[in-house]
Structure 1
């Protein structure tokens, strides 16, 4: 994904070409913390008072996975099921309605990503940079990659797409593992975020995030069809100039909205590659949204909403500051975020006011909440998965 006139360049097969050297890998949470305050005298979160209880939601089930869950490993929803990976490398699928274990397998070593699946094949990437694909709990094939991967593989159209930490991109045949094409990432970025980037199928495009830009990629060839800038590198050092796009993103029809790390939020019309708007926003995790609005949390815990059409700020609340919030989830009339203290916050989509709070355990949320089978699913770093349902 070169920054020249040809931002993406075909390369030799990823399993055979020389490995790229990553100068430095950084955790987004660490950078965000450094930008807010030093290691001493951290600001304390506000006392939230009594649970407002404006929405009747209660815990329906909880399941212990047997191992802790790493940060930045998104839970995967497929139909009524949710899939979670743990530190020991296990991949567990639960029924969202009941918490019943549907399946479980292990590649035999720790993973660096959440899982990707089309409902038939499940793809994961191990710490030793092995892309492995499983079906019905059995390994179908594996391929060696040249760089670490932190974005879950995308399994779609009989293929497995992988974006590595260096933002190189490759496609593999879902049945055989044969590499179909590969393009290299930018060569001028010394810092790489150790968290999921943007890799999603939108119509007949792969939409990927590269150096502050959304790119539309031909899934058959890897050729770039368009690129839309959401942020440009600024500042005097590498940390300040890091503007990579982070997941999750919000898609409504042709509107795709995403966050550039500690820089901005913006929306692109992928039908014509037009950037609808961008706004300055100092956050480190992705966004969620609906047809009217886009929601996100700043690194200091301020939660904000923007008009999806023009980017005008709709509301902003600071009552959840310094709680290390996850990316949000839009669910019914609420915006749901979990925090580092094990609390799940349900806010009004209309004005950000508190609707309800739910409690998990004190280990804190490992990743953004998801919804499966009409159940709000929250994954704790302790390895316990919680299911909440409306009364």
Structure 2
């Protein structure tokens, strides 16, 4: 039975915090923001070029694009949802929902789902509204559309499943004894083979997507601190997949890699950060809270390199781009580094900071900016 969820939001170090049935105001320490590091001088050894570019209305930092097969989709703040061919940029369909959006789009290539600021789940079929359902609370994690189902995660980390065809509510899950605090930002909601992966505080839970029953429940990081705010340790999306392994950030605590077949942690390294990480079969890369980038080997978590020349520039979630790693900063610069040693090989100026994490399709980098630009980039 659906019920109304009472929640309030506060800012903590530039991040929003949600509380169920309580009110709290948090203030970041310090009276002024530290100056970001100046752009480095370097000799480019590669060049970033634009393959194709498209536009939507302005897009907030949380409305990240999604890529499935050869389709990339993006939504704007005002409810414009567009899908393009990822290789050519040709428009596949477009919809105007006329509603402000709180969570980015999710799609299986045909159906697409978004959640409005009015807490309504809207599902499209090739750009045409198929059905809509009211939700009992706010959503900031993009829906997942897979296996003829639509999965959503609310701010209190409750997970709900709906039939993708007719919108029937199927089941809901929330880990017993869950945390009272949660980040009001993107959590973990992803698919691995026939298992649904969801973040529940500092734990990664594998669910049976047909029934919502638990297949595994693994503790990714142990929260520390003397109060609820200091112990806040949500898993931060997106999850970085590398075949049968995945790596994830635990907010202000650590970076860890897991063996998904076993449902166990392979290794964990302390790093106080706020953004997701990048991973492939070779390396894992993540930035700490001061934007110092570190790279570890996927096999055992051994530190390979660390750079601090992007300190306090507000780096996005990074992404592996062939033999490179790419991340953009809050000034709208895209930085491309060698995965081998962390040296900068290229830089590209965007029209605005990124909306969500960048994506990779074949040899192209797909990025969406907060001005609504959708670009496919290639490294030459």
Residue of structure 2 equivalent to 1:371: 360
Q: Kindly report the root-mean-square deviation, in angstroms, between the aligned alpha carbons of the 2 structures.
A: 2.1
Superposed CA offset, 1:356-378 (max 9, x none):
111112x3222222123642222
* Deviation, structure 1 residue 68: 1.2
* Per-residue CA distance 1:236-258 (angstroms, 9 max, x = gap): 23321110001111222321211
1:352 paired residue number: 342
Task: Tell me the secondary structure at the aligned position of residue 58 of structure 2.
Answer: coil
Q: Which residue of 2 aligns with 1:132?
A: 122
1:313 corresponding residue in structure 2? 303
C-alpha contact 1:22 1:190 (8 A) present in aligned 2:
no
How many angstroms apart in 1 are the aligned matches of 2:301 and 2:333?
A: 29
* Contact 1:377/1:388 (<8 A) preserved: yes
Where in structure 2 are the equivalents of 1:263-278 lying within 5 Å?
263-278=253-268
> Match for residue 48 of structure 1?
40
Structure 1 match to 2:272: 282
370-379 or 284-293: which moved more?
370-379
**Which residue of 127, 145, 161 maps to 1:155?**
145
Aligned partner of 1:247 in structure 2 is 237
Correspondence 1:74 to 2:64: yes
The equivalent of 2:54 in structure 1 is 63
Q: For 1:388, which of 358, 377, 380 is the aligned residue?
A: 377
In 2, the alpha carbon distance for the partners of 1:110 and 1:41 equals 30
Number of aligned residue pairs: give it: 372
Equivalent residue, structure 2, for 1:20: 5
Aligned to 1:212: 202
Long gaps (5+) in structure 1: 1-11
Q: Is the 8 A contact 2:204 2:219 kept in 1?
A: yes
How far apart in 2 are the matches of 1:113 and 1:210?
Answer: 18
Decide whether aligned partners of structure 1 residues 25 and 123 sit closer, same or farther in structure 2, where only a CA change above 3 A counts.
farther
Write the distance in 1 (CA, Å) between the matches of 2:356 and 2:30.
Answer: 24
> Helix, strand or coil: the match of 2:52?
strand
Pair 1:102–1:29, CA change in 2 (3 A): farther
Deviations 1:25-79 (A, max 9, x none): 55774479x99963415223133114x32123312333332x2110122211122
Going from structure 1 to structure 2, the CA distance change for 1:376 and 1:212 (only over 3 Å counts) comes to: same
Task: Tell me which residue corresponds to 2:102.
Answer: 112
- Corresponding residue of 2:294: 304
Residue 192 (structure 1) shift: 2.4
Scaled by the length of structure 1, what TM-score is found? 0.89
* 1:390 CA drift (Å): 3.5
Report if the CA contact (8 A) 2:256-2:269 is conserved: yes
**When the two structures are superposed, what TM-score results if normalisation uses the length of structure 2?**
0.92
Question: Gaps (5+ residues) in structure 2?
Answer: 18-25
Equivalent in 198, 214, 220 of residue 224 of structure 1? 214
Aligned mates of 1:249, 1:216 — CA distance in 2 = 13
Structure 2 distance, partners of 1:56, 1:35, is 42
Specify which structure has the bigger relative contact order, considering alpha-carbon pairs within 8 angstroms and separated by 6 or more residues: 1
Distance change in 2, residues 1:324/1:385 (3 Å): same
Instruction: Give the distance between the partners of 1:234 and 1:158, measured in 2 at CA.
Output: 40
Describe the superposition over 1:171-213 as per-residue Cα deviations: whole angstroms up to 9, x where unpaired: 1111111111112356653432121111111122111111101
Equivalence for 2:20:
none
Instruction: Tell me the equivalent position of 1:7.
Output: none
- For residue 87 of structure 1, the aligned residue among 51, 69, 77 is 77
1:237 to 227, 230, 238: 227
Task: Tell me the secondary structure at the aligned position of residue 114 of structure 1.
Answer: strand
Residues 327, 337 of structure 1: 8 Å contact kept: yes
Larger strand proportion, structure 1 or 2? 2
Contact 2:9 2:184 (C-alpha < 8 Å) held by counterparts: no
Per the alignment, residue 22 of structure 2 pairs with: none
Change (3 A) 1:105 1:185: farther
Which residue in 1 is equivalent to 2:23?
none
